[in-house]
Amino acid sequence: GAVVSQHPSWVICKSGTSVKIECRSLDFQATTMFWYRQFPKQSLMLMATSNEGSKATYEQGVEKDKFLINHASLTLSTLTVTSAHPEDSSFYICSASPSGTFNTEAFFGQGTRLTVV
């Protein structure tokens, strides 16, 4: 199947700093990518929909100024956690499907475990 690569796999940062997470579709183009957040023993919560060439669509309750999303190309979306705090510590995971497909499998990155100290 298609491959989505997420980087880094884990990161530890100091409170107040920013962290950028990359999500790449390696063998297909993705007009849309999705960012999820998962707390321990909980489900994947959709944070935002990343749209190539336009603004991301954020879910209710997700601060767009804190979680900056950029989707500058058809194969790359980035999530930047700005001014990170310990409560931002979580597992962040992206997904994507080939452009032009609907109602098909979503391919997930391997996830990024963020720890803010």
Of 15 and 29, the one with the shorter C-beta distance to another protein is 29
Residues that bind another protein (CB under 8 A): 32, 34, 36, 41-46, 49, 57, 91, 93, 95, 97, 102-106, 108-111, 113
Q: How far is the CB of 108 from another protein (least distance, A)?
A: 4
Of 18 and 105, the one with the shorter C-beta distance to another protein is 105
To which residue do tokens 């849309």 refer? 32
Q: How far is the CB of 87 from another protein (least distance, A)?
A: 20
Closest to 99 (Cα-Cα) out of 65, 39, 51, 61 = 51
End-to-end CA distance of the chain: 37
Assess contact for 36 and 45: CB atoms under 8 A.
Answer: yes
Give me the helices (H) in the chain, please.
none
Of 43 and 54, the one with the shorter C-beta distance to another protein is 43
Of 19 and 33, the one with the shorter C-beta distance to another protein is 33
Q: How far is the CB of 25 from another protein (least distance, A)?
A: 14
**Measured distance CA(103)–CA(105) in Å, rounded:** 7
To which residue do tokens 């962290």 refer? 19
Q: How far is the CB of 9 from another protein (least distance, A)?
A: 9
